[in-house]
Structure 1
Amino acid sequence: MRTIHVVTHPEATHHIDHVVGGWHDSALTPAGEKAASAIAAALRAAVPAESTVELISSDLLRTRQTADAVAEAFGVSPRLDRRLREKSYGEAEGRPQAWLDQRFVPPPAVGDRMGHEEGVAGAETKAVFGRRVYAAMDDVLRLPGSHQIVVTHGFALTFVIAAWIGMPLEACGLVNFRGASGSITTLREDDFFHNRQVVTLGDTRHLPE
């Protein structure tokens, strides 16, 4: 049986500064650091002590800090993978959210949503974004251990889950799996039928009040 625990990083400075995240390298806030410790404790309680655990994380600072808290709880070192980064918003990153909102071109209700250009120079399309997350998940699924922990971002979570359930990338134009900051999503594959489940989506019960 394989279980993948997908963590979305908790509160970071771009959240409270109201600036665009993406590849902007924001750090966890004090509240985010406390939440990262709670995430680590919840995962340590959920994973049997004798299990082999691989820890894979986006290489941005806020996810690295989250992964470091988890790594300490498990006595492992995180493997950093830039393909697990959040969507790139190009020249909007680090700018006020209002700057992006004024320029953002929403995707059409029908038509090419995956290849849609959002009106901001350098921003990734959903197709480019999804392709790299799918590639990262291909490598995660080649790992031999019974438990993997993947530390990523809120928007990236959709493509992590879609890759897990085998959804063709071109079918992802309308899909959105939401997980709050600091949440844990649990994915499980049984070792008989090899069916893949989404056991929990965006669980936040472990987070401090």
Structure 2
Amino acid sequence: MRTLYVVTHPEATHHVEGVVGGWHDSELTAGGTHAAARTARALRSRIPQEAEVELYSSDLRRCRQTAEPVAALLGLRPVWDPRLREKSYGEAEGRPQAWLDRRFVPPPATGQRMDHDEGVPGAEIKAACARRVHAAMADILSSPCEHQIIVTHGGSLTFVVGAWIKLPLAAAGYAAFGAAPGSITTLHEDDYFHNRRLADLGDTRHLDPS
């Protein structure tokens, strides 16, 4: 059986400052750092001690700061992969969210949703983001390792899950797998039928202070 643990980075400074994330290289808040440590301990408790484990992460600082305690606790060397980044928001990045809201053009209900121009100069279209995340997932899944950890962003999670279940890119324009910051999404593939399933979406029980 193959198991993937997909971690969405916890609270970062752009969340509390009310600015646009994307490729804006924000860092974890004090609360986010605490959540990252809890996430590392949760992963250690779920993965057998003797298991081979691989760790992949977006190269942006908030994901690196989430992956580092995981790497330290499990004795891993992370692979920093820019293809696991959030969608780029171009000129909106680091600006107040209201700046983006005034310019944002929502996608149509039907039609070319993946190639939709959201009206922000320099921003990625969804298709470009999905293609690079799918390419990263293809490389990750080419490894035979049975336990893999992926640290990424909330917006990229949909494309990670979509790649896992082999959702066609055109259909990904209608999909949304939302999960809270600091959550763990668990993906399983059995070794008999080789069916892939979304076993647990956005688990946050490890963040409960009790």
Q: Same fold (TM over 0.5)?
A: yes
**Partner of 2:63: helix, strand, or coil?**
helix
1:182 and 2:177 correspond: no
**Alignment partner of 1:67 is 2:67:** yes
Query: Which residue in the other structure is 1:115 paired with?
Result: 115
Return the letter of the residue paired with 1:135.
A
Amino acid at match of 2:136: A
Residue 51 (1) aligns with residue 56 (2): no
- How many correspondences in the alignment? 209
Look up the SS of the partner of 2:179 in the other structure.
coil
Letter of the 1:121 partner, please give it. P
Q: Residues 181 and 40 of structure 1: is their aligned pair in 2 closer, same or farther, counting only changes over 3 Å? A: same
Cα distance in 1 for residues equivalent to 2:200 and 2:29: 26
Matches of 1:124 and 1:39 in 2, distance apart?
30
Tell whether 2:81 aligns with 1:81: yes
Aligned to 1:155: 155
Whether 1:29 aligns to 2:29 is yes
Residue 170 of structure 1 pairs with residue 175 of structure 2: no
Deviation track 1:85-119 (CA, whole Å, cap 9, x = no partner) reads: 00000000000000000000000111110000000
Q: Distance in 2 between matches of 1:170 and 1:177?
A: 16
Contact 1:5/1:187 (8 A) holds in 2: yes
Return structure 1 stretches of 4+ with deviation > 2 angstroms. none
- CA deviation map 1:57-82 (0-9, x unaligned): 00000000000010011011110000
Partner of 1:197: 197
Cα deviation for residue 208 of structure 1 reads 3.9
Work out whether residues 13 and 26 of structure 1, in 8 Å CA contact, stay in contact via their aligned partners in 2: yes
CA contact (8 A) 1:58 1:64 kept: yes
Q: RMSD of the TM alignment (CA)?
A: 0.6
Following the alignment from structure 1 to structure 2, what is the Cα–Cα distance between the partners of residues 19 and 153? 15
Distance in 1, matches of 2:19 and 2:173, equals 26
Aligned amino acid, residue 126 of structure 2? K
Residue 206 of structure 1: SS of its match in structure 2?
helix
Structure 2 unaligned runs (5+)?
Answer: none
The one-character-per-residue Cα deviations of 1:129-180 (angstroms, maximum 9, x if unpaired) are: 1000000000110112110000000010000000000111111111000011
- 1:98 equivalent in structure 2: 98
Q: How many Å separate the matches in 2 of 1:105 and 1:55?
A: 36
Aligned residue identity for 2:43: L
If the length of structure 2 is used for normalisation, what is the TM-score? 0.98
| Distance (whole Å) between structure 2 residues aligned to residue 2 and residue 15 of structure 1 | 33
Q: Contact 1:12–1:28 (CA<8 Å) still a contact in 2?
A: yes
